[in-house]
């Protein structure tokens, strides 16, 4: 079979890497892909939101199924466009994707269906929002309503910090139209975890738990990023906690959407804050997380294409989940200045040495070729991911591999997975 993966990051490299292990995959295409993906798939230079060109590619190359990586094309209706042409594609349609593309839609949905989440207010007026912040005090959370590449959330520990964040979103338009409305919510405390499931709109297949590291610096300091590292499993998600997540969050969400005549097919991601064994939803995403996908794909025993076909054909209940009992850790290597301004085109060295290490894969995120050189081409450049019998061993392997890799300005967190080892 022929498969098309849409996207160009570390998540998409992990998806392609996993698909390449399938017994029934004949060829993989990726649009637009990156330098690492080009080693195992044919990369086609088409933008993720050029739906006509992507559909034409699927038709011309007789592609059997398409898997969408990033959120932006989902929010713009790529699934609807492909389905109108009778093409199999994995991901929620535009209406269902509002669970990620509109924080207001998601919060109001959770309120209607009694899904646990923080108390909140929605504002279109900067003045009213500022008044509310001064009244509520801190800590407090300000969220741009729309998509902001994982950076549109400000957790403010002081009122001044909250107002500065509000100005950044609503007045300075740091995230464009995504900041036309803001959600201001109570700050939740506990430990974060990522919980993702495959679903065909009826059946639910849970993935292994994971935990992301959003802040750019060690000890969770600095601004939010798209993610600086992740590990799986997340010890905070015990069997008892997982049961509560499924019963209080995942099932009510899928059933609630269906009751509103919204069929959600693809991946549902719940970003959770867990305290005293009980989860509250921080956010929903409508696709695989990045960088959580990297360690999760390393631990998955199932054939990803089997799962994808089962979702498309609404027979996911036929698939028996299979996961390795080990652990995996991913550490993101970022460009100097990320998540702010950064330069591209820095030569990357040492990958061949890193590849020689056992149970280690370097997933490319922002990379490209410049002549014969592999160079940086994004904020998050590489995701060094390792397996181990436990999180401690996996972490040691990942950081050992990083010792071989270099590019000017390279920075990364040194404390990925430390929380799991306390």
For residue 179, the model assigns a pLDDT of 86
How far the first Cα of the chain sits from its last, in Å, is: 45
Q: What CA–CA distance (Å, rounded) separates 55 from 53?
A: 5
- Please tell me whether residues 313 and 339 are part of one structural domain: no
Phi (first) and psi of residue 379, to 5 degrees: -75, -50
- Please tell me whether residues 312 and 219 are part of one structural domain: yes
The answer to whether position 407 is within a domain reads yes
What is the DSSP-derived secondary structure letter of residue 125? -
Do residues 143 and 152 make contact, with C-beta atoms less than 8 angstroms apart?
yes
Q: Is the pLDDT of residue 111 over 90?
A: yes
For residue 274, the model assigns a pLDDT of 97
For residue 150, the model assigns a pLDDT of 66
List for the chain the helix, strand, coil content (%; round to 5). 35, 30, 40
10 Å Cβ neighbour count for 257?
A: 21
Do residues 10 and 291 make contact, with C-beta atoms less than 8 angstroms apart?
yes
For residue 60, the model assigns a pLDDT of 97
Percent of the chain with pLDDT over 90: 94
**Minimum mean pLDDT range among 14-23, 65-74, 168-177:** 168-177
Q: What CA–CA distance (Å, rounded) separates 158 from 363?
A: 38
> CB under 8 Å to 287, separation ≥6 — which residues?
11, 68, 69, 70, 71, 74, 91, 100, 266, 267, 269
Q: What CA–CA distance (Å, rounded) separates 20 from 269?
A: 24
Q: Is the pLDDT of residue 402 over 70?
A: yes
Do residues 236 and 274 make contact, with C-beta atoms less than 8 angstroms apart?
yes
The answer to whether position 266 is within a domain reads yes
Q: Is the pLDDT of residue 155 over 70?
A: yes
Q: Can you tell me the mean pLDDT for 202-230? A: 94
For residue 24, the model assigns a pLDDT of 96
Q: What CA–CA distance (Å, rounded) separates 265 from 247?
A: 19
- Number of domains composing the chain: 4
The answer to whether position 109 is within a domain reads no
Q: Is the pLDDT of residue 147 over 90?
A: no
Tens of pLDDT, residues 335-374? 999 999 999 999 999 999 998 999 999 999 999 999 999 9
**Minimum mean pLDDT range among 77-81, 223-227, 276-280:** 223-227
Q: CA torsion 335→340→341→345, rounded to 10°? A: 20
- Please tell me whether residues 155 and 176 are part of one structural domain: yes
What is the average pLDDT score of the chain? Answer: 96
Whole-prediction pTM? 0.94
Look up the CATH number of the domain holding residue 45: 3.40.50.20
Q: Can you tell me the mean pLDDT for 265-273? A: 97
Q: Is the pLDDT of residue 148 over 80?
A: no
- Please tell me whether residues 369 and 410 are part of one structural domain: yes
Local confidence band at 178 (pLDDT 50, 70, 90 cut-offs):
confident
Dihedral sign computed on CA atoms, order 334, 336, 342, 347:
negative
- Please tell me whether residues 174 and 197 are part of one structural domain: no
- Please tell me whether residues 343 and 385 are part of one structural domain: yes
For residue 152, the model assigns a pLDDT of 82
Residue 243: exposure state from Cβ atoms within 10 A (0-12, 13-18, ≥19): exposed
- Please tell me whether residues 64 and 32 are part of one structural domain: yes
Look up the CATH number of the domain holding residue 175: 3.30.1490.20
The answer to whether position 209 is within a domain reads yes
Domain span including residue 243: 191-318
The answer to whether position 214 is within a domain reads yes
Nearest alpha-carbon partner for 45 in 397, 369, 417 = 369
Q: Can you tell me the mean pLDDT for 31-37? A: 98
- Please tell me whether residues 226 and 312 are part of one structural domain: yes
Question: Please, which residues bridge with residue 130 across strands?
Answer: none
Nearest alpha-carbon partner for 252 in 187, 199, 188, 189 = 199
Nearest alpha-carbon partner for 215 in 396, 419, 366 = 419
Comparing 162 with 147, the larger pLDDT belongs to 162
Say how many CA atoms lie within 13 Å of 38 toward its Cβ. 12
Question: Please, which residues bridge with residue 269 across strands?
Answer: 196, 285
């Amino acid at each position: 079979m022929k498969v098309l993966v849409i996207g160009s990051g570390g998540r998409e490299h992990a998806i392609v890497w996993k698909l390449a292990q399938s017994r029934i995959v004949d060829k993989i295409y990726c649009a637009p892909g990156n330098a690492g993906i080009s080693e195992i798939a044919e990369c086609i230079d088409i933008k993720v939101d050029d739906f006509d060109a992507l559909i034409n590619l699927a038709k011309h190359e007789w592609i059997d199924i398409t898997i969408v990586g990033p959120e932006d094309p989902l929010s713009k209706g790529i699934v609807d466009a492909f389905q109108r042409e009778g093409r199999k594609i994995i991901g929620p349609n535009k209406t269902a994707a509002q669970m990620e593309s509109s924080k207001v839609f998601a919060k109001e949905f959770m309120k209607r269906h009694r899904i646990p989440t923080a108390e909140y207010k929605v504002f279109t007026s900067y003045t009213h929002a500022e008044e509310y912040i001064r009244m509520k005090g801190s800590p407090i959370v300000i969220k741009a309503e729309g998509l902001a590449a994982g950076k549109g959330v400000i957790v403010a520990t002081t009122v001044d910090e909250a107002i500065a964040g509000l100005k950044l979103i609503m007045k300075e338009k740091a995230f464009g139209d995504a900041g036309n409305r803001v959600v201001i919510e109570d700050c939740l405390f506990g430990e974060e975890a990522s919980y993702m499931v495959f679903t065909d709109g009826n059946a639910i297949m849970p993935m292994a738990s994971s935990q992301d590291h959003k802040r750019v610096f060690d000890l969770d300091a600095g601004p939010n990023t798209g993610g600086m590292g992740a590990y799986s499993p997340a010890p905070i998600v015990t069997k008892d906690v997982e049961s509560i997540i499924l019963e209080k969050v995942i099932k009510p969400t899928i059933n609630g959407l269906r009751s509103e005549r919204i069929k959600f097919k693809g991946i549902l991601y719940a970003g959770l804050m867990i305290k005293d064994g009980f989860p509250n939803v921080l956010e929903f995403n409508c696709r695989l997380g990045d960088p959580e996908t990297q360690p999760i794909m390393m631990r998955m025993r199932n054939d990803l294409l089997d799962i994808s076909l089962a979702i498309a054909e609404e027979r996911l209940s036929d698939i028996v989940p299979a996961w390795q009992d080990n652990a995996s850790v991913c550490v993101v290597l970022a460009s100097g200045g990320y998540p702010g301004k950064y330069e591209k085109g820095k030569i990357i060295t040492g990958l061949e040495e890193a590849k020689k290490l056992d149970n280690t894969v370097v997933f490319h995120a922002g990379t490209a070729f410049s002549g014969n050189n592999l160079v940086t081409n994004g904020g998050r450049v590489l995701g060094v991911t390792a397996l181990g019998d436990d999180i401690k061993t996996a972490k040691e392997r990942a950081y050992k591999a990083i010792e071989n890799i270099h590019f000017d300005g390279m920075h990364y967190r040194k404390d990925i997975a430390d929380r799991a080892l306390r």
